[in-house]
Amino acid sequence: MTTTPPTRETETDDELDSALVTARRQLERAAAHIDVDPGVIERLKHPTKVQQVSVPLERDDGSVEVYTGYRAQHDDVRGPYKGGLRYHPEVTAEECTGLSMWMTWKCAVMDLPFGGGKGGVAIDPKSLSSDETERLTRRFAEELRDVVGPTKDVPAPDMGTDAQTMAWFMDAYSMQQGETVPGIVTGKPPVIGGSYGREEAPGRSTAIVTREAVDYNGRDLSDTTVAVQGFGSVGANAARLLEDWGATIVAVSDVNGAIYDPDGLSTHDVPTHEEEPEAVLEQDAPETITNEDVLELDVDVLIPAAVGNVITADNADAIAADIVVEGANGPTTFAADSILAERDVQVIPDILANAGGVTVSYFEWLQDINRRQWSLERVNAELEEHMLEAWNDVRAEVEAKDLTWRDAAYVVALSRIAEAKATRGLWP
Ligand code: NAD
C-alpha cells in the first residue's frame, strides 16, 4: 500500500522540522507500508526513558554553575541503546528524544544489534576551557552511570564533543567501576580502544552509497558531477573519496560560501573544517558562489553534508540534481521531500547514507569486547560489506513496493524492529 504524498498546496514549511516531529512522521509513513501490529507502533512513538540530570561545574575562577544534561533512550529491543552525546546550548529533552528515535531507525536499517539513544548537556562548549570540559564530562558520566553501560547504553561523540570527550567519559566510568571498561563509549582515540576509520566512516558511507546510487541509475562515476555542501568530517571525506573514485567534484562549501569549478576541484588540496576551519573560500577556484547556489547547481549528485533543514519547500523546486545523498542529518524537510519525490529526484536518506559512523562504532564495540584491534583495511572492508548489504535491502523494498528511498529505508528498519518486538512479546 502506498501513501499519497501531500498535495502541493499543503507543502509549506510552517516551521522547520524538529527531530521529534520528523521521527514520528517517518514512523507513521513506514507503518502505512507494512503489516504491523498497531500496539508495536504505539510503543515506538514513546521513548523508554528520558533521564534528566543536573551537572554542577566548577569554573576555572572557582565559581560554580549548574547545567542540565539528558539521556534519551528510545528502544532497545534489538540491543543496547546507541547514540551521541552533544554539548550545545539548545540541547533539550525533546530534541534528545527525537534524535534517539532517529538512531533506532538508523541502527535497524544497518541491521546493527543496537537501539537508539541520544543525550547531551545544554551548554556552549566554546565557553569552556579544556579543564572545564573535562570536569563537566567526568561529572556528567557519573550522573549517567546508572543508565549507561557497555551492554545497556553506549554513548558516542556528537556536536560539540569529540574523541577526547569520550576518553574522559570512559575514564570517569572506569574509575568508578574499578576496572577499565572501553566498551562504555565509542569514538575514543585508538590508543584506548577506539577504532581506526571511525572518524572518516560517515563520509565513507556517504561516498559508498553515492557510488551505488549512480550505478543503480546506469551511470559511471567518471561521468558524474557532484556538489557538496559542508566540508567537514562528512562532506570532505565523501568528496575526497568520490574524487579518488573518478567523480568530478564541482563545488564544495563551508559556512561562508562555496568554491566552484565546472571542470572539477582538487578536493585533497582544500583544507577540511578540522584541518583549517572555514578556509574553503581562501582556495584558488574560478568562481565563488553562495551555499544556496550550491544546492541549486545543475549536477548529477548533490550531497548536503553541513546542517539540517537546508532543502525546504522554498527551494525544492530549484534542486537540479537527479540524486540527493543526505550526508548531514535531516537536510531535507518533510515538505521538500514530497516535492522532490513528485519531481522524481531520488533522495538517499541520512539514516542509510551517513550510517557508516554508527556502523564503525559497532565495530569499535566489538573490538572492545574482544580486546582486539582491527586494521584500518579490515574496518573499511567490513564497512563496505555492511553498506552494500543495507543498500541492497533498501533497494529491494524500493523495487518491490515502488517506494521512495527514504520510505524504503524506514520500512526496512521498522520491519526489523517490529519483528523483534512481536517475537519477544510485551513484558510483563
Ligand atoms: P563538521 O563540523 O566537521 O563540518 C561541518 C561543515 O559544514 C563545515 O565545513 C562548516 O563550515 C559547514 N557549515 C556549518 N554551518 C553551515 C551552514 N549553515 N551552511 C553551510 N555550511 C555550513 O560537521 P560533520 O561532523 O561533518 O557533520 C555534518 C553533518 O553530518 C551534521 O548534520 C551531522 O549531524 C551529520 N553527521 C555527522 C556524523 C559524524 O560522525 N561526524 C555522523 C553522522 C551524521
359 lines ligand 1 (CB under 6 A): no
137-160 pLDDT per residue, tens:
999 999 999 999 999 999 999 999
Residue 305 CA to ligand 1 center (angstroms) comes to 6
Whether 118 is catalytic: yes
Q: Is the pLDDT of residue 5 over 60?
A: no
Average pLDDT estimate for 34-50: 94
Strand partners, 227: 251, 302
422 lines ligand 1 (CB under 6 A): no
Atom of ligand 1 nearest to the CA of 355: 43
Atom of ligand 1 nearest to the CA of 159: 34
Average pLDDT estimate for 87-93: 97
* Residue with CA closest to ligand 1 atom 8: 232
Mean per-residue pLDDT of the chain? 95
229-267 pLDDT per residue, tens:
999 999 999 999 999 999 999 999 999 999 999 999 999
pLDDT at 19: 87
Q: Is the pLDDT of residue 10 over 60?
A: no
Q: Is the pLDDT of residue 62 over 60?
A: yes
Give the full edge-to-edge strand order of the sheet including 301-304: 287-289, 257-260, 248-254, 225-229, 301-304, 323-325, 346-348
User: Is residue 5 exposed (0-12), middle (13-18) or buried (19+ Cβ within 10 Å)?
Assistant: middle
Output the nine-digit C-alpha cell for 413: 528498519
Average pLDDT estimate for 39-49: 94
348-370 pLDDT per residue, tens:
999 999 999 999 999 999 999 99
Q: Is the pLDDT of residue 4 over 90?
A: no
Look at residue 413 and give its three-state secondary structure: helix
- pTM value is 0.95
Label residue 200 by pLDDT band (50, 70, 90). Answer: very high
Q: Is the pLDDT of residue 329 over 70?
A: yes
